[in-house]
Amino acid sequence: MERVPEPELMEEKDQVISYDEADFSEGEFNLINQISHYLLRKKFSLGEKDLIVDLGCGPGNISEKLAIKWPNTEVVGIDGSKEMILRAEYNRENSTNRKKLKNLRYICSDIKDIKSNNLFLKKRISLLVSNSLIHHISNLEVFFNTIRGLSNNITVNFHKDLKRPLDEKSALELKEQCSTKYNEILTNDYYASLRASYSFKELKDFILENDLSSLDVFEDGDKYLIVYGNV
């Protein structure tokens, strides 16, 4: 199936509310466990001197879980949508875990502008994470240039995203499954995301062709891809 891009930022209020109100916690805990196991395997531990950045953080679901998992490490969630950042801040302030989220802050910035905004002058990024971001980005060069620009020689990258279905029929089946759990706005967004996602081959080829061989791509089941490693 050909890739059909979707708008990068999620700025519509009803779109943001639908996303925020959905329960994706199972997949989110799964991602935190995957990151944690990966760091353990690399014998990489995170402490006070480190900085974790969650790109395209949305309403902060992953950022909050990262902040709780690594309580001594500063976590910064970044999203280009003001509406999403407002939600993320509201969620943090109203969370039952509020006291455990003192190490978490949010910044509203398009990922393309992060470097020029000089947001991380005090600390270097140790862990650079994203979930469901890559498919929003108009082309892979923009995504990889961003993570290359933000990474240093110790930065561990871990980026999980949807994998584009092989054909329209499979995409429609996944859309149908989604509609049994989530509302119409979210179901339509999910379908648009599936069509906008990249394939394993597209990501792998980009890495090979652009001197990014310390990164790799992993197919996580039949629905997800993970780009991980150093840049």
Ligand X SMILES: C[S@@+](CC[C@H](N)C(=O)[O-])C[C@H]1O[C@@H](n2cnc3c(N)ncnc32)[C@H](O)[C@@H]1O
With binding defined as CB under 6 A, does residue 87 bind ligand X?
no
Phi then psi for 108, rounded to 5 degrees? -95, 110
For ligand X, which is the closer residue by CB, 84 or 171? 84
x/- site string to ligand X, residues 175 to 214, per CB under 6 A?
Answer: ----------------------------------------
H/E stretch holding 29 reads helix 25-41
Query: CA-CA distances (angstroms) from residue 218 to 53, 74, 159, 162, 163?
Result: 21, 27, 10, 12, 11
8 binds ligand X (CB under 6 A): yes
List the one residue out of 26, 32, 24 whose CA is nearest residue 52: 32
Is residue 128 involved in binding ligand X (CB under 6 A)? Answer: no
Other Cβ atoms less than 10 A from the Cβ of 89: the count is 17
Residue number with CB closer to ligand X (18 or 208): 18
> Counting contacts by CB under 6 A, is residue 215 touching ligand X?
no
In the complex with ligand X, the residue whose CB is nearer, 45 or 113, is 113
- Looking at 51, 74, 80, 161, which residue binds ligand X (CB under 6 A)? 80
Q: Bridge partners of 54? A: 77, 129
Report the residue from 65, 92, 136, 164 that binds ligand X according to the rule CB under 6 A: 136
Q: Which region among 2-10, 39-47, 166-174, 178-186 touches ligand X (by CB under 6 A)?
A: 2-10
Of 18, 132, 155, 197, the one binding ligand X (CB under 6 A) is: 132
CA 1 to chain centre: 23
- Number of Cβ atoms within 10 Å of the Cβ of 158: 18
Write the CB contacts of 211 (distance below 8 Å, at least 6 apart in sequence). Answer: none
**Residue (of 81, 76, 70) closest to 35 by Cα position:** 70
Interface residue list for ligand X (CB under 6 A)? 8-10, 56-58, 61-62, 79-81, 84, 110-111, 131-133, 136-137
